Homo-oligomer: A and B are copies of this chain.
């Protein structure tokens, strides 16, 4: 099944769902101990899966009584947010940024998991046949497809 990082991610997300205010406070050392890993593994999970682009804000404090707080931020207007996300795509788009954006759009319910896979598949198919400028083509394709989805579902 998934990796340790996946499990930690799932665990934190579950806690977030169960929380009243979409935020949880963690103890890095405690969590690492629960999952039998080094503390820095927690930083790895936070850095790769709880980014701002995916809609999470992480704040922390060191020292005695230190903590890590993870908040899932909701946007007032999903459509506006989606459009802003699209605007943030420049002339180039890496695979990683695409994944972040898709994860976010799926998260706010603008696209379904199936739509997400379809987009991914199409982009992979199209970018697979060229050797140069994949990031440029990916930017255009993702912008075009998402724009189409937004327009036709609005």
Give A residues with C-beta under 8 Å from B. 2-3, 5-6, 47, 51-52, 57-59, 64-65, 71, 91, 115, 117-126, 128-129, 137, 140-141, 143-145, 147-149, 151-152
Q: Given the interface contacts A115-B152, A119-B148, does A58 sit within 8 Å of B124 by beta carbon?
A: yes
A117: which B residues are within 8 A, CB to CB? 57, 59, 71
- The verdict on A120 contacting B152 (CB below 8 Å), with A64-B3, A126-B140, A129-B91 known, is no
A–B Cβ pairs within 8 angstroms, 11 of them: A3-B65, A5-B65, A51-B125, A58-B121, A119-B148, A122-B144, A137-B137, A137-B140, A141-B141, A144-B145, A145-B145
Residues of B within 8 A of A115 (CB): 152
CB of A47 within 8 A of CB of B140, answer: no
Complex contact B128–A47 (CB within 8 A) = yes
A120 touches B57 (CB 8 A): yes
B residues in contact with A151, CB < 8 Å? 118
9 further A-B contacts with Cβ under 8 Å, apart from A52-B122, A122-B148, A145-B145, are A6-B65, A57-B117, A59-B121, A71-B117, A118-B151, A123-B144, A126-B143, A140-B140, A148-B149
Please name all residues of chain B whose beta carbon is closer than 8 Å to the beta carbon of A122 when the two chains form the complex.
52, 144, 147-148
A76 vs chain B, min Cβ distance (A): 15
- Chain B residues with Cβ below 8 Å from A51 are 125
CB-CB under 8 A from A118, the residues of chain B are 57, 148, 151-152
